[in-house]
Structure 1
Amino acid sequence: MTETQGPAHKKDMTRRRMILTGGAVVAAAGVGAGFVATASADEETKSSGSRPGEGEACYRLTSETTEGPYYIDADKIRKDITEDREGIPMTLRLKVIDSDTCKPLKRAAVDIWHCDALGIYSGYESMSQGGGPGGGGTPPSGTPTDAPTDIPTDAPTGQPTGTPPSGGPGGGGGHSEPTDDERYLRGTQLTDQHGYVEFKTVFPGWYQGRAVHIHTKVHVGGKMTDAGYEGGHTCHTGQFFFAESAVLDSAKAEPYSTSTTPRTTLTEDTIYDQSGVTGGLLKLSYRKGRMARGVTGSITMGVDPDETHDGTDL
């Protein structure tokens, strides 16, 4: 499977939500000249409409995406997923609502996982496409590090006939089995009575073929056990994205500034559907010129708890 995405089913939000959201963004942007706020009212409200008798507006369904090759089933219930990873501190505030009833989803399990500041995924360090000062991330065991002395000079002929490998630099393909026991920058939490969860992490870096992103899954109908969250089904598999301006600001700080990996922009990404918040675009805030001190990201996910979207159905 390649990590491409068709249009997801979406619902319009009401004019009331559009006005409230717009006002919130304007208010945030006015908190001092040194305050940076990404996303806009236009990005959050591509269209509007009314639903008779409804007292509160609903967000549209959040876009579904593929799972990608680096998912590991929920096994760490925790708020702080940073462990020993260096990077810009980030607080990620998520709200999950039923896009049909507008009500918050209580006790839904929310997974997030993402690469570190240099593009490396825990559990897959030898497979990741990160690029630190040495380039290319951690080489697999047995991989030679010296440059070959017999580099071919002739152009290749013919077409490859084998089956392409799963995974790949773009983060697509089928699921890959973990190659190590690391689990940094991965975690799961249950939503509270208002549908909220909050994670402490670091601003992700980038790797070959993909814009900066965070993966997520929402599970409902299960229960907590000693082994973690079990049962139920996955009603949403998606990704969160970052405004280009924020990514450029992050690239000025270490260790992001040491990356040697060419960066894919948001408009070039093959997964982001360019639909703003519906497509997973986070609302970010931080102090201008002081991003290294910390970033806050937030988004509301509108999901259909009756559906099953495990990332393999696209």
Structure 2
Amino acid sequence: MTDTQEPAHKRDMTRRRFVVAGGAAVAAIGAGGAVVTTASAGQSPGKKPAASGEVCYRLTSETTEGPYYIDADKIRRDITEDRVGIPMTLRLKVIDTDTCKPLAGAAVDVWHCDALGIYSGYEDLSTGGGGGGTPPSGAPTDAPTGTPTGTPPSGGPGGGGGGHEEPTDDKRYLRGTQLTDRNGFVEFRTVFPGWYRGRCVHIHTKVHVGGKLTTTGYEGGHTCHTGQLFFAEEAVLDSAKVAPYSTSTTERTTLDEDTIYPGNGTEGGLLTLKYGKGKIAKGVVATLTMGVDPDETHTGTG
């Protein structure tokens, strides 16, 4: 995918937008005891655009691309390939934050590490949990010792800082692109990500507009959003009880300790997660509505 220059006309980034969000809680839903983890409390309910032109969603926070992005143009729903882990369905809705209308035909990229913190294309550079053996005492916990400080080292394990790294292998598991349907939705089948040193559990994402689907992938247009998707602590702790996550020997960084997560709930990419109480191993459904400005350009490389 290629970027073009930013359009001359840009929307006013200072306009306030309201976001649909739940309370910061884990709730038991119905007799089945489903666990639902949602975004931060205290945010206003969603509203329809007012006559004055006020819009109803905040812009989803922009974050760094990280060093492990590959413009692979793998247009596919199932990105799991041979990776083992907790099955996860990732459902994203993309809307134009100015009009609140679904953004149809946008290309949504996602990429993330596997259950042991390894990125495809960068297996030699990833510093995941290794697997096998017994996890270190007390990790993961709600307040792990040895809290990481500062930003992850440049060129280090895939998430936050550092410039782009060239791939070291030709593997492309847990990476893919989908075009949003007329209602702005995309859906990916993947696995619950693991963790690695210096970062909380997360998924990377980009939204591209103005291009077209060709025989070689999605071409042209520009990148209007680069962000990351995050997971509530309760769900991460539940995942850590399940193999292969439970075999990780890597100290875990919590959501609050992360140097990239904006700390602003749904607006910052905090997913809503649903799974059976005590049965996370059977699968998770993760959802989020992302508000983007299609006239903007955000590559996440600045």
TM-score range, shorter chain: 0.7 to 0.9
Instruction: Show the counterpart of 2:63.
Output: 65
Instruction: Show the counterpart of 1:167.
Output: 155
CA RMSD of aligned residues (A): 2.7
Give the counterpart letter for 1:221 in structure 2.
Answer: G
Cα distance in 2 for partners of 1:179, 1:22 equals 41
Cα distance in 2 for partners of 1:273, 1:108 equals 24
Deviation per CA, 1:187-224: give whole Å up to 9, x if none.
00000000000000000000010000000000000000
Evaluate the alpha carbon distance shift between residue 198 and residue 132 of structure 1 in structure 2; reply closer, same or farther with a 3 A threshold.
same
Aligned pairs for 1:219-234 (under 5 A) are 219-234=208-223
Cα distance in 2 for partners of 1:196, 1:269 equals 28
Deviation per CA, 1:56-98: give whole Å up to 9, x if none.
9622000000100000004200000000100000000000000
Shifted more, 28-37 versus 207-216: the winner is 28-37
Cα distance in 2 for partners of 1:183, 1:225 equals 20
* Aligned residues of 2:55 and 2:97 also touching (Cα < 8 A): no
Structure with the greater alpha carbon radius of gyration: 1
* Aligned residues of 1:166 and 1:176 also touching (Cα < 8 A): no
Evaluate the alpha carbon distance shift between residue 176 and residue 230 of structure 1 in structure 2; reply closer, same or farther with a 3 A threshold.
same
Q: Quote how far apart the aligned CAs of 1:167 are.
A: 1.3
Identity among equivalent positions (%) equals: 71
Evaluate the alpha carbon distance shift between residue 11 and residue 256 of structure 1 in structure 2; reply closer, same or farther with a 3 A threshold.
farther
Q: 1:293 aligns with which of 266, 271, 282?
A: 282
**How many residues align structurally?**
270
Evaluate the alpha carbon distance shift between residue 10 and residue 120 of structure 1 in structure 2; reply closer, same or farther with a 3 A threshold.
farther
Give the counterpart letter for 1:226 in structure 2.
Answer: T
Aligned pairs for 1:215-254 (under 5 A) are 215-254=204-243
Give the counterpart letter for 1:35 in structure 2.
Answer: A
Instruction: Show the counterpart of 1:261.
Output: 250
Instruction: Show the counterpart of 1:118.
Output: 116
Instruction: Show the counterpart of 1:303.
Output: 292
Are 1:34 and 2:33 counterparts? yes
Q: Secondary structure at the match of 2:41?
A: helix
Aligned pairs for 1:34-53 (under 5 A) are 34-40=33-39, 42=41, 45=43, 52-53=50-51
Give the counterpart letter for 1:38 in structure 2.
Answer: T
Are 1:210 and 2:199 counterparts? yes
Q: Quote how far apart the aligned CAs of 1:46 are.
A: 5.8
* Aligned residues of 1:212 and 1:247 also touching (Cα < 8 A): yes
Are 1:199 and 2:197 counterparts? no
Cα distance in 1 for partners of 2:281, 2:153 equals 37
* Aligned residues of 1:35 and 1:285 also touching (Cα < 8 A): yes
Evaluate the alpha carbon distance shift between residue 47 and residue 285 of structure 1 in structure 2; reply closer, same or farther with a 3 A threshold.
closer
Structure 1 segments unaligned to the other structure (5+ residues): 1-8, 136-163
Give the counterpart letter for 2:41 in structure 1.
Answer: D
Cα distance in 2 for partners of 1:127, 1:134 equals 20
Cα distance in 2 for partners of 1:50, 1:200 equals 31
Q: Quote how far apart the aligned CAs of 1:131 are.
A: 1.3
Aligned pairs for 1:109-148 (under 5 A) are 109-133=107-131
* Aligned residues of 1:65 and 1:237 also touching (Cα < 8 A): yes
Deviation per CA, 1:249-294: give whole Å up to 9, x if none.
0000000000000000000000001100000000000001110000
Cα distance in 2 for partners of 1:311, 1:86 equals 29
Q: Secondary structure at the match of 1:73?
A: coil
Q: Quote how far apart the aligned CAs of 1:49 are.
A: 8.0
Structure 2 segments unaligned to the other structure (5+ residues): 1-12, 134-151
